[in-house]
Structure 1
């Protein structure tokens, strides 16, 4: 026999889930394991003819072979069926949306998901299997979803709940019925109990969090403690409420929380209860009201998290200006930074006022550009201490209609809290970017990040990051892993370029870290950066968190110390603007202020603001490189702005060295990425900016395809440290005249040896190809042509030369290149030849004869050398 059960005190989600489960298991019977809620009882009374639910006493439990448990995964909550669930001969299937716990049924096949309601999980399966449902069933299923999601309003609601409701509406659900049974009026006994709870309410502040505790006694058993508690929360607009009701030798505890710091499920699990982070209940038998309250208080002291304070969410250090700063200079700084206001400080670095763009404009309009800002600033400053709670800050912003509040200690400015800081603290850092702040496929929990770090980083790197964490915690630093390594961890790629950012003095932290790791440190004070070099050769780049602004398009940035958020904001793309916290208890937390995770999932390259390409046009080259490396695409707005920057010829304002470095990065990628990148750059209109005559011809395409096909083979045969990017740049320039190539290399400031290689590839290699194809195949002749080429030019020859020449190059590399003769210049001197250029000519001729197999040992080499000397003397 197959049996479907829910839990005691059946609510609409449990009832709807049971009916939905029967659609998936049509042979199963539905069984109540205990009492049902009042509104559910009314619904069943009205619809008893279509709801076939049996009482548990009518079931032969020995005949049960399969148990389907819905809206619950704890055996103790299914009454007398708990023993059935523990039997080894019974298959148990669980469908639940509550968080897992140590009390879950161990032997069950668990199909639970973190949705707002269990009904959602089962409706999704019904829809996916194409199982038809009636309008009555659609109505009941919406009742189940709406009850547990607060009509899709509760924080735990997911998009899947909304999708399920939309499907059920299409299937004919009747919202009039839904509203009738969900809007519950209190009975007189419930009203009386709520009045007692209200009279017995007290407040406790635990770690800054205001906890409301309401207690009451009643001689009679009153149903609906959860409903009463919910009504109290709404009536009094409470953030947290725990209601304790003593009745009939037991105490019922109901908790509701709107704050992240109070996890009701975690707290009430200590009383053998549970539920969700936002709501739950427990029943305490053999307890008095006072003993139950004391047990709850002990758990609250242990488990309530600290209230978020101004010191935790503020941005800092804050960019300020001195009170004697002239109006004209202040206006320029405000224009460069894009700020609308600046805090003003005195000689003691104490905050004395705020100056806004409006204040500066008025002063300038009256011709007072020379005057100091202290004459025009606002002196009545609303501020908070670092210990101020989130609620206090929010109230101040609303009451004073302001968007930012300075954080002061002894009148010294520590940081500033903005509206965005408040929103992120309340709803999560991704809230402003349009997707769920609470998990789902578009976010990563701390546990998931730690798992990825463990899987994607070598053991020595993991150990090193733990040392970074402990050093940061013990010395009071906030430290973050940033950049490409974070991006690639999320994508599942290997990347051991370790970059960390420090809020505060990065160089000082680098010295602390070097001492911990017994490493050496190399610092660059001008930029606030350092490199920690371990004995193993492993490097960690350490930087001070900084912000930057550009005085004109394509300029190098002006840099100032800043916070991690501002440091990430200055970066090129959202996918590169993520960080992983490394400090103490925050280790492994992902910071994604700008939607980087979302863009990784959508495979988008997205800039952080509309002037990004104007400020730094090299980002166009990097965008193309990331497109090709990861198979991404610039999102539409980003691509439009890239094209506009090209049309405005801003790329042409870049220094040539910066363009050169971006090209080297592109051509350092493995084939076929460089070829595709060049095509994409041409599509964006960027190639002609590199050189007016640079276009992608069919001949160039053919060379790039050969590069793609034979590059790997070429480096395998050459087997030497080489600059992989040089042949690619040589192909890029292959359609230009030699004098233009020489000119371009000089403009781009290539090193002389690199410029010479490019010119060799452009001019010498084609001539060698022609000579090899026309002359004989003697080893000495081939070696004479190939010996002058460096590794990069040799690779270029191998790639472009065709099958016959590739065979020659392979033979040269494997057999001839390293053949040397035994005799030296000293041997020639002993034969009476005075030192002269003839030494080289004779030794070269001896090697030619050796390569061609005409001589084979030292004696024959000496004999040939003697004959050549004799001939020289006769000339």
Structure 2
């Protein structure tokens, strides 16, 4: 018999054999299993620890989460089970690009691969409010312990959403990056990160400190950054991923925003607002807002973006708008962030109560305007009564007059007037 016929005959014999691995599988049902005596497979629990990033994960959030997972992996209190990093709702584009190259060496797992009842220790980084955890906040009540690491001093969102109310451990310190807090603990524990890990941690610190340029940056951030560079962080990768590129979708939104942005000068501060709409969720809108702020003369800019999944508010402010605290503004909508950079995913109830996105934006703008004090007048700054010097006075007369009134200058008037 030719070889091809022998193979065909063998395959046919296998398929006709009861229980053969090529035999068509019957549809699963309790009655059929009982009739065929087929054992029912039991679902095996997989105990684990989980570290959550924020929704729309940025480099600081991802880096801090991976650093905490590494720390727990070497801590006897946590190392009996594996620790996974979970992003509740995606990441900004530049983080997605980084993960495309390095996800295989990081402890990142998909949200749907975790059974909440298996979680022993739950870590939350770069957030102190449940509102920033999206769908993963259901795990808060399932975990045996909750550990919060954040650098947003002052809290975020509504007090009822505060993670500190239920946390086993809360570490919130005034540094420029959450990654810094955990890198310090890795250094103190003498844990040497791998090159990809060190590179990610550098990107995390750089992202939230603006390359050590933001006013919230501290010496601790610089020390942590220097330690990571000594541990071999890749400068080539830092150069590649340290600058966020604007995607095609982001560019379209930027073009629309430039045409529709509304600006208002209030008490010497330029406040701009813009409402845009996209067909689907567009990650990385913070980069669009930052670019828009640079292209306008505004001191404060708030964008409202409506999409099929909801409504996002993103705000940015220049250092010149010293009294404006966008973190406080966004906390009114369940969000948070920094004084100069903050965001919120507006809850559905608030959206229904306020109506159109433009209405939500107007409410946010009023919160901003309420933080801007009245401009000082000349009367508030200058002294009175006005001391003058006649133009025929001698230098000695001028010196005596200025010293008598503790002045450095005074007006000179016409003696004949």
Q: CA deviation at 1:207?
A: 4.3
Give 1:186 shift: 1.6
CA change 1:113–1:130 in 2 (3 A) is: same
Question: What does the per-residue CA deviation read over 1:659-700, in whole Å, with 9 as the maximum and x for residues that have no partner?
Answer: xxxxxxxxxxxxxxxxxxxxxxxxxxxxxxxxxxxxxxxxxx
**Residue 11 of structure 1: CA displacement?**
0.6
Q: Which runs of 5+ in 2 are unaligned?
A: 1-47, 74-78
| RMSD of aligned residue pairs (Cα, Å) | 2.8
Distance 1:159 1:240, change over 3 A: same
Alpha-carbon separation, structure 1, partners of 2:290 and 2:379: 31
Given the alignment, which residue of 85, 94, 117 partners 1:62? 117
- Alignment of 1:34 onto 2:89: yes
Write the mapping of 1:271-350 to structure 2, written as runs, cut at 5 A. 271-284=333-346, 285=348, 286=351, 287-301=355-369, 303-311=370-378, 314=381, 316=383, 320-323=387-390, 326-330=393-397, 332-333=399-400, 341-344=408-411
Structure 2 residue 276 is the aligned partner of structure 1 residue 216: yes
Question: Given the alignment, which residue of 133, 141, 147 partners 1:78?
Answer: 133
For the residue of structure 1 that corresponds to 2:288, the secondary structure is: helix
Pick closer, same or farther for the CA change 1:135–1:320 going to 2, 3 Å.
farther
Following the alignment from structure 2 to structure 1, what is the Cα–Cα distance between the partners of residues 289 and 216?
A: 19
* Shift in CA distance, 135/269, structure 1 to aligned 2, threshold 3 Å: same
Matched, 1:43 2:98: yes
Q: Secondary structure at the match of 2:290?
A: helix
Checking the alignment, whether the CA contact within 8 Å between 1:251 and 1:292 is kept in structure 2 is no
- Say if 1:97 and 1:231 are closer, same or farther in 2 by CA, change over 3 A: same
Match runs of 1:141-220 below 5 Å: 141-220=201-280
- 1:201 to partner: Cα distance: 1.0
Q: Deviations over 1:797-830 (max 9, x none)?
A: xxxxxxxxxxxxxxxxxxxxxxxxxxxxxxxxxx
SS in 2 for 1:72: coil
**CA gap 1:305/1:139 in 2 versus in 1, 3 angstroms:** same
Q: CA deviation at 1:20?
A: 1.1
Tell me if the contact between 1:208 and 1:306 (Cα under 8 Å) persists in the aligned partners. no
Separation in 2, partners of 1:243, 1:98: 22
Q: What is the rounded CA distance, in whole Å, between the counterparts of 1:69 and 1:185 in structure 2?
A: 28
How far the C-alpha of 1:204 sits from its partner, in A, is 2.4
Alignment of 1:809-828 (within 5 A): none
Kept in 2, the 8 Å contact 1:250–1:288? The answer is no
Determine the structure 2 residue equivalent to 1:128.
188
Q: CA deviation at 1:23?
A: 2.5
**Unpaired runs of 5+ in structure 1?**
347-351, 353-371, 376-875
Query: Structure 1 residues 282-291 or 93-102, which shifts more?
Result: 282-291
Is 1:23 equivalent to 2:70 in the alignment? Answer: yes
Shift in CA distance, 152/52, structure 1 to aligned 2, threshold 3 Å: same
Q: Note the C-alpha offset of 1:146.
A: 0.7
- Contact 1:274 1:282 survives alignment (8 Å): yes
Kindly report which structure 2 residues correspond to 1:721-740, keeping only aligned pairs within 5 A, or say none: none
- Is the 8 Å Cα contact of residues 179 and 205 (structure 2) preserved in structure 1? yes
The structure with the larger Rg is 1
**Residue 7 (structure 1) aligned to one of 51, 54, 71:** 54
> Which string of whole-angstrom CA distances, capped at 9 and with x for unpartnered residues, describes residues 239-269 of structure 1?
1111122222633221101212221111121
What per-residue deviation string (whole Å, max 9, x for no partner) do you get for residues 320-362 of structure 1? 442256223245338968989511265xxxxx8xxxxxxxxxx
1-structure distance, mates of 2:63, 2:383:
51
Q: Secondary structure at the match of 1:216?
A: strand
Q: In the superposition, relative to structure 1, how do residues 131 and 219 fare at CA in structure 2: closer, same or farther (>3 Å)?
A: closer
8 A contact 1:261–1:307 mirrored in 2: no
CA deviation map 1:360-407 (0-9, x unaligned): xxxxxxxxxxxx7x99xxxxxxxxxxxxxxxxxxxxxxxxxxxxxxxx
Q: In the alignment, what sits opposite 1:97?
A: 151
1:107 maps to what in 2?
166
Q: 1:438-457 maps to which residues of 2 (within 5 A)?
A: none
